[in-house]
A and B are shown apart, each in its own frame.
Chain A
């Protein structure tokens, strides 16, 4: 029993202490406005974990969901949440609002300028 408890504490502690490579300080943002994602296509750097803010300016809740990105999060009306995506390989990753699947968009992961050369 004690071993299992210590294992759980170790896992939590390790996850807390693990440093990750993050993109620039300024977190890119996706906004839900008038039943659309703005921007509809958001470019992020490939190869690093990216902090992403999802804002909902509409009057109804939304659920940002993406099987491509392995992410799902509910955003209250007039609310916002912070999620992390990646590190992503270069490419296009679709997402949608699970409460209104007509609302879709793309995350585009692009190599950093130095990597393109």
Chain B
């Protein structure tokens, strides 16, 4: 039988972390009065977890293929560095976001300041919950900046790992559309150990109603522990368009080095 104060204590803890996130989000929005913008190249399913003191260096990218000239050849890649300042807050700086549209060259489109907040302890609730809040600066003149926010969920069931992101995007600053654009991202994988590595075949799915572009496809990811104190993560795969607005296929790749 649990003491009557137990649930209240945990709920207060949760509420305090919600407040921290809200304050962080407001501070972020307060910094976004600058006129900027960026292209959307988010092919990633975020984890809600934050490990205090851990540093991450990450690169991920995509390339779309389609018979239609307005979609074929769209590509992009990002390079970022993150460091978890506390057990619940991990800021990440995208030092370069590069994009290429069909028929044009790759260009540096902007930078991004992203924050992950872990809201619950691992296993505290049915799923583990985090929150994402980011601000993207775009170098192209006359383009508005963009803020992103939304909850992140992760659930482990034996060898099966699942993630769900519900993200809202909003342009901010002069020239902003004022509309909220939603995207959902989901991943599921089956993890197993091979020597000092972990392999995880699975799938990823992206739901982008604002672009009328929905995609799903197989993914293979893995982890390798080169020194016992660091971790190399990678992921490759392809997602296929499931409606007419999406590219026929998009190749995805990601590599990340994590260390303390």
Among A16, A21, A71, A100, chain B packs the most CB atoms within 10 A around the CB of: A16
Q: Given A98-B198, A99-B225, A67–B260 Cβ distance below 8 Å?
A: no
A72 at the interface (CB under 8 A from B): yes
- With an 8 A cutoff between CB atoms, is A15 at the interface? yes
Contact A72 to B260, CB < 8 A, known contacts A16-B15, A84-B122: no
Residue contact B122 to A5, C-beta cutoff 8 Å? no
Residues of B within 8 A of A19 (CB): 7
User: Which of A4, A48, A70, A98 is within 8 Å of B156, CB to CB?
Assistant: A70
Contact in complex: A18, B125 (CB < 8 Å)? yes
- Chain A's closest residue to B156 (CB) is A70
Q: How far apart are B241's CB and chain A's nearest CB, in angstroms?
A: 22
The residue from B122, B125, B193 contacting A73, defined by CB atoms under 8 A apart:
B122
A43 within 8 A of B: no
- Picked from A8, A70, A84, A101, the residue with its CB within 8 Å of the CB of B121 is A84
Identify whether the interface residues of B are mostly helix, strand, loop, or mixed.
loop
A61 to B2, CA, bound (A): 33
Chain B residues with CB under 8 A of A68 = 158
Bound: A16/B17 CA distance, A: 11
Tell me if B159 counts as interface (CB < 8 A to partner A): yes
Segment 1-20 of B: residues with Cβ below 8 Å from A: 1-3, 6-7, 10-11, 14-15, 18
A42 to B163, CA, bound (A): 30
A/B pair count, beta carbons within 8 Å? 96
- State whether the Cβ of B234 lies closer than 8 Å to any Cβ in chain A: no
Docked-complex contact A83 and B53, CB < 8 angstroms:
no
> From residue 177 to 234 of chain B, which have CB atoms closer than 8 A to chain A?
180, 182, 191, 193, 196, 198, 223, 225, 228-229, 231
Does A76 belong to the interface (CB within 8 Å)? yes
- Inter-chain contacts of B198 with A (CB < 8 A): 98
Shortest Cβ distance from A78 into B: residue = B53
From the candidates B2, B11, B51, name the one contacting A74 in the complex (CB within 8 A). B51
Contact partner, A8, options B49, B166, B196, Cβ 8 Å? B166
CB distance from B27 to the nearest CB of A (A): 21
In the bound assembly, the distance between CA atoms of A31 and B53 in angstroms comes to 19
Q: Tell me if B127 counts as interface (CB < 8 A to partner A).
A: yes
Distance in angstroms between the alpha carbons of A26 and B129 in the assembled complex: 24
How many B residues touch the partner, as a band?
35 or more
**21 A–B contacts from the bound complex (CB under 8 Å):** A15-B127, A15-B129, A16-B14, A16-B15, A16-B18, A16-B125, A18-B125, A20-B10, A21-B2, A23-B2, A25-B6, A61-B229, A67-B158, A70-B157, A70-B158, A71-B122, A74-B49, A74-B54, A77-B260, A85-B123, A98-B223
- Give B residues with C-beta under 8 Å from A: 1-3, 6-7, 10-11, 14-15, 18, 49, 51-54, 87, 119-127, 129, 150-151, 156-159, 166, 168, 180, 182, 191, 193, 196, 198, 223, 225, 228-229, 231, 260
Interface residues of A (CB under 8 A from B): 1, 4-5, 8, 11-12, 15-23, 25, 48-49, 60-61, 63, 67-68, 70-74, 76-77, 79, 81-85, 98-101
